[in-house]
Structure 1
Amino acid sequence: MSDAGYDHATVERRWQAAWEESDVYRTSDDVDDPTYVLGMYPYPSGKLHMGHVRNYTITDAYARYRRMCGDDVLHPMGWDAFGLPAENAAKERDTNPRDWTIDCIDTMREQMEAMGFGYDWDREIATCTPEYYRWNQWLFTRFYEEGLVERRDAEVNWCEECETVLADEQVEGDDELCWRCDSPVVQRDLEQWFLSITEYADELLEAIDDLEGWPNSVRQMQRNWIGRQYGSEVDFEISGHGPVTAFTTRIDTIHGATFFALAPDHPISEELAEEDEDVRQFVEHEADPDGDEPNGVETDLTATNPATGEEIPVYVADFVLSDVGTGALMAVPGHDERDHAFATKMGEAIVPVVAPEPDGWDGETVPDAPDVSEAAFTDDGVLVNSGDYSGLDSETARERLTADLESATGSTQYQLRDWGISRQRYWGTPIPIVHCSDCGSVPVPESELPVELPEFINTSGNPLDAAEEWKQTTCPECGGDGVRETDTMDTFVDSSWYFLRYASPDLETAPFDVDRANDWMPVDQYVGGIEHAVMHLLYSRFFTKVLADYEGLDHREPFTNLLAQGMVQLEGEKMSKSKGNVVSPQRIVEEYGADTARLFMMQAAQPERDFDWSEEGVRSTNAFLTRLKEMVEAYVSGQPDGEDDAVASYVDAEIDATIAIADAEYDDLTFNRALRETQDLTRTLRQYADYTEPHADTYERGLSAVVRLLAPVAPHLAEELWSELGNDDFVVDAPWPTAEVDRDHVRKRRQLVENTREDVRDIVEVAGIEDPQAIDVVVAPEWKYDALEIAIESDADNLIGELMQQSHIREQGDAAASYGQDLQVEREALSMTLGPEDEREALESAAWLLEREFDAPVSVLPADEADTGVVKKAEPGRPAIEIED
């Protein structure tokens, strides 16, 4: 042992080698009590960062805990190995993405092994291997067969720097920048492949309510992204163009529609742009859907309001979006803030047609119209200025107008759009389609899968377009000349089902063994970053539902419980290379050890919270582990032989309490609380050994509990200490410690002891007692406990009167009246304490803590053995204290 701590490098190497030799983390396919624990697999960048370490320590700790509880645990690891970063890195270094990626995987696997993560490496997958992406292609073909794949022209997000299409979710911020390179994203028309996720929009939305193990914030983000709205579609006749359908959630306001607006790319807008220079200029140069204020240009067209018959002007406006609703809307400036701003800017009429519902409204009278000249009234209310519909409440008016207007129909709209998976890049799964001039787009037969990537060509644009020999093929249907699809799949396809592959990673006949997947799924605990709250999780849910419908999967949701872990920060800022504030996990492991890094992270904060990295905290954690090792070594070499006395009883009670509380906290993934309990028990054991010769069984039981409670988080040292305590098995296979205790009783006992110790400290300080000679702790008389219970349970206005109905309380005279008054004053804050016998027992067993702290004998007395003047001060949960100076 040195001042720098124990020899962590030797300890960690020894046990990592022992685990590997014994294959302790291999998971059988034949299991009785399956628990599936999974961290979102990483992109292999070549180096673990602190976010990785925290994420995978959480899953590793939970997996180890469940295993020690007796579960059969699946805890695999793989690599999200396709993607543009590897392609860009290969171009920069004049190598190929495959070699670059495999090197990065090898490096990160070594780092993970050095962290002691207990993965079943026999189940490792890498999405860039043909053995994996073959099944991406197979699944694409199955989706195609079931009508869930479509190819069509679409306006897409295009990153000119990355030269690829981006999903809406990959366009970030108000400035619309690429999520990978922060370059501005532009719009481009391309023929694209889409997966029909909208077919499952209703189920994806409604099933969110059943995801009770997910954070509410994530569930709400998914609801918002799907964006279901109930409303009506209604036609407005456009002069010279016929009826144009508008979608609205507020058809009750149709009498207040004072203009009509079209999206800049609406077919009528495009037609007008060819004829009207003002419209062309606006559409091509001025329209800005993300601008700070709505903008538009008036046309020569008019629209007929179907409710009033009035002609209203038609605008082309950039706040109307072609992929939201129908790309056309009725504008009601009196009751929509955006429409109000635009009408004010353009000088259009603002007419109120809905008024706030008056207090005590009788349901028949028509209230006064509100003043909407300065701001729109956007709530539901009572219709005004609406002809025969005036006086109706908004909900009733919506129903009647939808039924009465000839062109109106009820409609449901979604913000969710079909998932465009086409990417114009090399390092991804080739889409298994052959284009034939006679047969069209033809799927590659299953017997010819996988369609493997050709050799990488370092060129601008999509390297697959330059792979002429690879592109030219034959049509699977007619045998004529064909051309391979050169788009590759969005890498979110890879991660939408990878958790199923872990159940049977070497299966050569299907993407996953259905029976094994049904045994393991759904994932019991999934852990990853909040940045995946929409894309990855939504797509995974979609795939799971499709596979349940068509491939025999029993479960329709992939993840039962989800934890979105917080960030590791430095001085309040997220660690990043650009900020130069990155702390290297490798340096921490080399200097302090993997166990120190793991333990510090898990005890610093709850897993879902951000926390600041602290070198001082790391050193403190390492010192704690060093002290624990010294304690175990001292016990093994000394073999104490102390008495099974009151002190041992107190320590035994604390061992039980710690086990019970830590077990519950581990189960809830609140590792920081479990570890705080474990460290407190370690401190108690150290104080016990310092105070007296410990009782061997008690002390050994305490050390055994501490080692096992730490084992999920600090596995290497736990194995070392478990072995030193004389155990022949691995601690990873040891049974989790158990204790049957009442947590409420534990809380009250601990609070009683701590309050009493604090009261003694206050008396010593206030009275200026430098050398206490004796300390008496006096438990309250039994009648006060009875009075407290009555006060808590009673709802009588005259509490003192109710107390005096009890003869044994009434006999106390003025003391009972005085205590009753105190209870009356504190009535709302009262809570039950331990009973008098339990209080006395708890204080007697903890008296040694006071004796150790103040170097004075301590006596715990019942009320009938103490001085009457002292007893008067004693209350339940707050014993009286007399100190002899």
Structure 2
Amino acid sequence: MADSERGYDPSAIETRWQRAWEDEDVFRTPDDAEDVSYVLGMFPYTSGSLHMGHVRNYTITDAFARYKRMQGEDVLHPMGWDSFGLPAENAAEERDTNPREWTLSCIETMREQMDAMGFGYDWDREVVTCDPEYYRWNQWLFKQFHEEGLVERKASEVNWCPSCETVLADEQVEGDEELCWRCDTPVTQRNLDQWFFTITDYADELVDALDDLEGWPDSVRAMQRDWIGRQHGAVVPFEVEGYGEVEIFTTRLDTIHGATFFALAPDSDIARDIAEEDEAVAHFIDEEADPDGDEPNGVATGLTATNPATGEEIPVFVADFVLSDVGTGALMAVPAHDERDHAFATKKDVPIEPVVKPEDGEVPDVQEEAYTEDGVLINSGEYDGLDSAEARSRLEEDLPGARHDTQYQLRDWGVSRQRYWGTPIPVIHCEECGPVLVPDEDLPVELPEFVQTTGNPLEEVEEFVEAECPDCGRPARRETDTMDTFVDSSWYFLRYISPDFEDAPFDTERANDWMPVDQYVGGIEHAVMHLLYSRFVTKAVADMDLLDHREPFERLVTQGMVLLEGEKMSKSKGNVVSPQNIVEEYGADTARLFIMQAARPEREFNWTDEGVKSSHQFLDHLYDAVETFVADPPTGDGGAVTEYVDREVDYLAAVAEQSYEEMTFTAALREAQEILSLLDRYGRYTDPDPGTVRRALETVVKVLAPVAPHVTEELWRELGHDDFVVEAEWPAFEGDLETLERERTLIEETREDVRQIVEVADIGDPAEVVIAVAPEWKHEAHELAREFDGDNLVGEIMGREQFREYDGAPDYAKDLQAERQSLKEQLPPEQEADVLSRARWLIAEEFDADVTVLRGEEANGELTGKAEPGRPAIRIEE
């Protein structure tokens, strides 16, 4: 039967409830709310339309936000737009328009699509980063950072994209081929004066505080640690022929006696100086050096360096595995104890000399491969026999000029971009005064009308560029660089808290109450840039007494990609599934349900038409079940089956609560489907109890409400409620999840045991199934065994009078002794019997047999002897 014939019309239902939510301001967060649950998805770049990655991200966050509302919490769930950036300029050029018009049209389209998906946002808190009222505060923060010494302007070799004609941060250069993250153009190097945020001032805290982010994925924390790249070690000067002392940084000073060559980065000052006189070195630097190559390569310079530990002269190479921006751009090479140095030494026939061996082992064969672990020093003169850690400490003290040092891979955050569509940097350049900050009263410095040109459009607008120096009044030039868009997204979550606040970027008092974000959701591709910058900015504003919190996000979920036939959806691949088309054909609830039940949020999942249809069929089934119940409710009591169904509903509510709380979702949705199937079986087996069926349907509706909000609102009203299901209380349940899971396990294992007996004994038509629960004394012995920590469990059991009266006690005690490491807590005997009695109908239905459940005291001795806690004895008669 078609949806329209039965009454389920997703289009009409979804439109109706979206309008109702809007009319009643269901998702608005009052400003006077205290200790809100702050749920946030990373706001989207205004690319023109939503894709499935957006839909997955925002369905996850919306489901969690709705769940928290049903838990009775005030929820802050806002949305905004990451609306600056070069792609808008490129898109506008392709469409013969300007970036602002293109961006605003994208926002309108994407907002409509979000509404169509039923996402419950507080749109009163919407922020648009290209709005002067927003980017004014980018400029204000820039000034505050400058006053705090967190802004520098310096000449720097920068990553330059010749296609985008802009500077890229290191994080925006991707892959071994060093391509622009936006357009895949090979990146080149340029020297430019740039503005930097000195994020390196916070390097130690950014690393150390990762340990406290227990709600973040380990993979993200590891990526940030690697990017910051903190290393503790020592700086040691080597005397290089013709160049005096050249410092190297090493984390393995204990291996210095094994340094057999010295290496320089190809772009280091010394290497370039040598290249002016040495054609081979010049050729290598210009033509052969490949820092990203599979094998290290280099060229001998003919110079030597003096090893300060041995006094020996070792050859100097220019090598492409040495990086000028890591360490000092020079290094001592110890091929016996470093894999990269070993590969180079083997290739260039440089000696490989071991100076560290395992503490309890032979000297390793370092000619074959490097030994890279700590150990005990050998071939190191007076340091022989010291362990690596002690040797490092002693050598730091003994070697001339050596000193302890900590170095980082992290570099300061370059925020200058040579483009139009971004926040103007609030600086005026005066020949007399130098760079001068724009006064607060002149903020925001607004973008002028767009001028289409190559290079930076702002430089072509004279009325923008020509300015007056705020300090001396002389003619000056306005800064034409705009800010990196990651500045916009590094604090937007604070603006949502007070989007209309006019005195500062955000209301400090409210931010102190509502921050940090309780649950943040976004793609793993933002693990370094966005998340690291947001952490830096949060710490910086905290140090300016604007915020009490030093971390922005308490819990983080990085959702996996949506694939189609095993590949990431991409316009370039032509394998994009349009969310709008799915909504039009099946409804938003179907799309949301399929996305959430297909896989846990952090995992990739494959989009399939069959999966979408299956999700739609489930919602159709639920709609029909509710309509049927309302039109013709049952009139029976269901007997013991009702008790079983009630307990399964308890399990659904309990597992759903845990599933939503942990943001796994799939278990909750699977169990909701199971209950609906169980209700069908319940109705076929007996005349059900109407109260039990109503409770089951209402629980399924509530559990599904965060994921499929429209149809569940409709069904909630069908079931006679006047309130919104999104504001209804989360379903209650009796007991705890652990006990409920034990009950279910007992039932399933018992049913499986019956099946195996029937199969092994080749019983064609069972007439009677007798299930006997273990007697109370076995349960007592089992519990004693679980708690006993001595050696002689048999003696402990048989030493107690309460067990000696039973003939089977010695053998059972021996069984417990053998299995004691794997013993698990079981249900008490009375509860075990009650659980199996409630589930008799399942076995009776499956085998068309009479089923009897006996308590331990009711069974005969032979049957009782076979029964164990959690594993009842079973007899089957034909």
Give the structure-2-normalised TM-score.
0.95
CA separation in 1, counterparts of 2:861 and 2:373? Answer: 69
Counterparts of 1:327-346 in structure 2 under 5 Å?
Answer: 327-346=329-348
385-394 or 470-479, which deviates more: 385-394
CA separation in 1, counterparts of 2:253 and 2:791? Answer: 56
Equivalent position of 1:480 in the other structure: 474
Equivalent position of 1:671 in the other structure: 665
Q: Confirm whether residue 411 of structure 1 aligns to residue 405 of structure 2.
A: yes
Q: Confirm whether residue 625 of structure 1 aligns to residue 619 of structure 2.
A: yes
442-451 or 380-389, which deviates more: 380-389
Q: Confirm whether residue 383 of structure 1 aligns to residue 377 of structure 2.
A: yes
Equivalent position of 2:823 in the other structure: 830
CA separation in 2, counterparts of 1:791 and 1:410? Answer: 56
Change (3 A) 1:853 1:332: closer
Match of 1:641 among 618, 625, 635: 635
592-601 or 804-813, which deviates more: 804-813
Equivalent position of 2:143 in the other structure: 141
Q: Confirm whether residue 161 of structure 1 aligns to residue 163 of structure 2.
A: yes
Equivalent position of 2:191 in the other structure: 189
Tell me which stretches of 4 or more aligned residues in structure 1 moved more than 6 Å: none
One-letter code aligned to 2:403 = T
Change (3 A) 1:884 1:373: closer
CA separation in 2, counterparts of 1:350 and 1:857? Answer: 81
Change (3 A) 1:865 1:233: closer
Counterparts of 1:309-328 in structure 2 under 5 Å?
Answer: 309-328=311-330
Equivalent position of 1:843 in the other structure: 836
One-letter code aligned to 1:2 = A
Q: Unpaired runs of 5+ in structure 2?
A: none
Could you say what secondary structure the match of 2:337 adopts? coil
One-letter code aligned to 2:826 = T
CA separation in 1, counterparts of 2:631 and 2:380? Answer: 93
Change (3 A) 1:834 1:275: same
Equivalent position of 1:365 in the other structure: none
Could you say what secondary structure the match of 1:78 adopts? coil
- How far off is 1:823 after superposition? 4.2
Match of 1:560 among 540, 550, 554: 554
Could you say what secondary structure the match of 1:26 adopts? coil
CA separation in 2, counterparts of 1:117 and 1:184? Answer: 39
CA separation in 1, counterparts of 2:691 and 2:226? Answer: 58
Equivalent position of 1:115 in the other structure: 117
CA separation in 2, counterparts of 1:336 and 1:311? Answer: 20
Match of 2:395 among 398, 401, 416: 401
Counterparts of 1:266-285 in structure 2 under 5 Å?
Answer: 266-285=268-287
Would you say the 8 A contact 2:35–2:513 is kept in 1? no
CA separation in 1, counterparts of 2:545 and 2:207? Answer: 22
Change (3 A) 1:853 1:254: closer
Q: Confirm whether residue 170 of structure 1 aligns to residue 172 of structure 2.
A: yes
CA separation in 2, counterparts of 1:249 and 1:833? Answer: 54
Would you say the 8 A contact 2:490–2:534 is kept in 1? yes
Summarize deviations over 1:594-620 as a string: whole Å, max 9, x none.
111111211122111111222222222
456-465 or 29-38, which deviates more: 456-465
CA separation in 2, counterparts of 1:762 and 1:393? Answer: 61
Would you say the 8 A contact 2:766–2:847 is kept in 1? yes
Give the structure-1-normalised TM-score.
0.95
Could you say what secondary structure the match of 2:182 adopts? coil
- How far off is 1:870 after superposition? 4.4
Could you say what secondary structure the match of 1:840 adopts? helix
CA separation in 2, counterparts of 1:395 and 1:787? Answer: 53
CA separation in 2, counterparts of 1:881 and 1:408? Answer: 78
Summarize deviations over 1:706-739 as a string: whole Å, max 9, x none.
2111111111111111111111111111111222
Counterparts of 1:784-799 in structure 2 under 5 Å?
Answer: 784-794=778-788
Counterparts of 1:59-78 in structure 2 under 5 Å?
Answer: 59-78=61-80
Q: Unpaired runs of 5+ in structure 1?
A: 360-367
Q: Confirm whether residue 728 of structure 1 aligns to residue 730 of structure 2.
A: no
- How far off is 1:222 after superposition? 0.7
CA separation in 1, counterparts of 2:876 and 2:359? Answer: 70
Match of 1:249 among 223, 248, 251: 251
Match of 1:213 among 212, 215, 220: 215
Change (3 A) 1:303 1:772: closer
Could you say what secondary structure the match of 2:486 adopts? coil
Q: Confirm whether residue 694 of structure 1 aligns to residue 688 of structure 2.
A: yes
Counterparts of 1:443-842 in structure 2 under 5 Å?
Answer: 443-643=437-637, 645-765=639-759, 772-794=766-788, 802-807=796-801, 809-813=803-807, 815-820=808-813, 822-842=815-835
Equivalent position of 1:2 in the other structure: 2
Equivalent position of 1:362 in the other structure: none
Would you say the 8 A contact 1:94–1:458 is kept in 2? no
CA RMSD, Structure 1 to Structure 2 (Å):
2.3
11-20 or 172-181, which deviates more: 172-181
CA separation in 2, counterparts of 1:874 and 1:332? Answer: 67
257-266 or 850-859, which deviates more: 850-859
345-354 or 146-155, which deviates more: 345-354
Could you say what secondary structure the match of 1:71 adopts? coil
Summarize deviations over 1:557-608 as a string: whole Å, max 9, x none.
0000011111122232222223332222112211111111111211122111
CA separation in 1, counterparts of 2:398 and 2:209? Answer: 34
CA separation in 1, counterparts of 2:254 and 2:779? Answer: 64
CA separation in 2, counterparts of 1:721 and 1:58? Answer: 22
369-378 or 215-224, which deviates more: 369-378
Change (3 A) 1:23 1:873: same
CA separation in 1, counterparts of 2:663 and 2:698? Answer: 22
Change (3 A) 1:300 1:744: closer
Could you say what secondary structure the match of 2:223 adopts? helix
Change (3 A) 1:348 1:859: closer
Summarize deviations over 1:428-475 as a string: whole Å, max 9, x none.
111111111111111111111111112222222222222233212222
One-letter code aligned to 2:139 = Q
Summarize deviations over 1:792-834 as a string: whole Å, max 9, x none.
4445666555544455544443x44554555455444333432
746-755 or 486-495, which deviates more: 746-755
Equivalent position of 2:102 in the other structure: 100
CA separation in 2, counterparts of 1:869 and 1:61? Answer: 54
Change (3 A) 1:478 1:795: closer
Equivalent position of 1:879 in the other structure: 872
Summarize deviations over 1:692-714 as a string: whole Å, max 9, x none.
33223222222222211111111
Equivalent position of 1:363 in the other structure: none
CA separation in 2, counterparts of 1:375 and 1:796? Answer: 49
Would you say the 8 A contact 1:781–1:862 is kept in 2? yes
214-223 or 833-842, which deviates more: 833-842
Would you say the 8 A contact 1:566–1:610 is kept in 2? yes
One-letter code aligned to 1:390 = D
Change (3 A) 1:794 1:884: same
CA separation in 1, counterparts of 2:789 and 2:181? Answer: 61
Change (3 A) 1:382 1:705: same
Change (3 A) 1:869 1:356: closer
Question: How many residue pairs align between the two structures?
Answer: 876
CA separation in 1, counterparts of 2:504 and 2:383? Answer: 61
Would you say the 8 A contact 1:350–1:373 is kept in 2? yes
Match of 2:434 among 436, 440, 446: 440
One-letter code aligned to 1:178 = C
Would you say the 8 A contact 1:164–1:423 is kept in 2? yes
